[in-house]
Amino acid sequence: MGGNEAPTGPAPLAATPVPDIPGMLVITLPVHGDNRGWFKENWQRAKMTALGLPDFGPVQNNISFNATAGTTRGIHAEPWDKYVSVATGRIFGAWVDLRAGDSFGAVFTTELGPDTAVFVPRGVGNAFQTLQADTAYTYLVNDHWSAEATGQYAFVNLADETAAIDWPIPLEQAELSAKDRAHPRLADVDPVAPLRTLVLGAGGQLGTALRRAFAAREDVDYATRTDLDLTDTTALAARDFSGYATIINAGAYTRVDEAETPAGRTAAWAANATGVAALARVCTEHNLTLVHVSSDYVFDGTSPVPYPEDAALSPLGVYGQSKAAGDLAATTVPRHYLIRTSWVIGEGNNFVATMLDLAARGISPSVVDDQYGRLSFTDTLAEGIAHLLASGAAYGTYNLTNGGEPASWADIAAEAFAAAGRDRRDVTGTSTAEYFAGKQAAPRPLNSVLDLTRIHATGFTPQDQHEALRAYLDARTTDPSGRA
C-alpha cells in the first residue's frame, strides 16, 4: 500500500430506517478479520441505542441452523421485538408489516450476512431463505415464548401474490414446512393490534382528564382503584400485562393531613410507596413504559428559586415522604416518565371550587399568602403526558404544571372571589404558621414553584396558569357544574 492510499477496513456501525415500515432498522455491523477469522460486536447496547435503536431489553437469544441452501422459513409476526442477524452463511430476508394502520402490507427485502442485522418491531412478519449451506440465523427477542403468546401471532403465506416477494430460489424448489405452505394470504390476515395503554386511578381528577385526552383512541384501557388496587399484590400479580406497552399511574393517596395520623400514615405508604414499587417491578419485568405522577411535596419548599427536576428530595411530612419513596421506586423502571406537579385543579372538589362556594355563601375566609406556586389544571397535565408519550421524549423526570407567574393561595382565592362578584378584599391573607396554629395538620412547602425548562425543551408549553384559571372561573360561574 502506498503512503497516499487510504487504509481499508470494516464499514462503520450505522443504522438506516426502512422507509415503508415504521420502526424497522437495517444495521451495518463492523466485521474485523485477520488470518484467524473474524470478530464482530453483534449487539452492543450503548453504541446501538446511541444510533437510534430502541433499548428493547432482549431476554432470549435463539439460533436457527440451516444445513442446506434454499431453506425458507416464515412469514411470522410474533408479539415481541426481534433483532435478526447471521452468524455464518448468508440469507435473503423478507419482512411484511402486519400491524394495523397505513403501513399494513408494506414489504422490505434485503440480503443479510455477518456484516448486517435488522431490528424488527413487534407485528412485522419475518421470513428468510438461506443462500448458502450451513447458515446460522440468530435473533434476540424481548419476551419469552409461551403457549399463551401463540394466540397473538400473525402469519402470511410466503407465496402471497400481494406481497409479491421475489425469492432468489423459487419456492417450489425450496425447503419449506407444511405449516408455512398453509399460511393465509394477506387479504385474510387479521392485522396485529397495537400494544395498549392502561390508565390506573381512572376515577380520579387526573384520570378523568386523561379519559378526555384519549377519547379518540381505542387502544387505551382505564382502571379505577376498584378495578385494580396497587396495594393488592395478589390482584397485581394476576393481571395480564402482555398486551400493554404503557401504564399511566394517575392514582395516589392525597389526603395530606390525614397522612399524619396512624391510619393515614399506613394508607399513604401503601398506595404511594409500596404499591408503586410493586407496579415498578411489573413494568420492568414486562418491559413497559411507566408514567408516574408525583408532587411538589417531595421538597421542603425552602429553595429561593424554582425546583429543577434533579433537586434533592427533602419532604416535610408523611405524604411527601411516601411520594418521595414512590419516586425512587418509579425511577428504577428503565422506561419511565416521572411527572412532578403541584396545586392540582380538576373536576370535582378542589381549592378553587371551594373558594367559589365560600364566596357564594357570603363567607370571607383567611387564606395563606406565604405559599407560592403554580396551579396544575388536569387537562394540562393530561395533554403534557400525552405529548411526552407521542413525541418519544427522553425518559426521565419532568416538572409539569401550568406556566406563568407564580401566585399565592390568597392570590388565587381573590381571583375566585372576583369572578363570583365578591370584593377581592373579602379574602384576608395570613401566614401558614398563623393559619395552622393549634390544628393537626401536615407541614406545607412554602415554595412549590417547579422549573419548567425541561418540559418546554420537548416542545410542550403549558398554558399560563392565570389564563387557565380565568377560563375555569368563567366556566364555573356560568355553569356551577362546569368541568375543570
**Pair 334, 460: CB distance under 8 Å:** no
Tally of CB atoms within 10 A around 104: 15
Active site residue 292: no
CA distance 389 to 375: 22
CA distance 101 to 109: 20
What sign has the CA pseudo-torsion 274, 276, 279, 285? negative
First-to-final CA distance of the chain: 75
Q: Output the 3-class SS for 276-333.
A: HHHHHHHHHHCCCEEEEEEEHHHCCCCCCCCECCCCCCCCCCHHHHHHHHHHHHHCCC
Active-site residue (options: 76, 183, 292, 336): 76
**Residue located via cell numbers 408514567:** 291
Tally of CB atoms within 10 A around 221: 15
Long-range contacts of 47-50 (CB under 8 A, 24+ apart): 47/13, 48/13, 48/15
CA distance 471 to 469: 5
Pairing of strands 82-88, 135-141: antiparallel
Active site residue 144: no
β-bridge partners, 112: 91
Tally of CB atoms within 10 A around 444: 22
Q: What is the CA radius of gyration of the chain?
A: 28
Active-site residue (options: 32, 83, 137, 139): 139
Catalytic residues: 76, 139
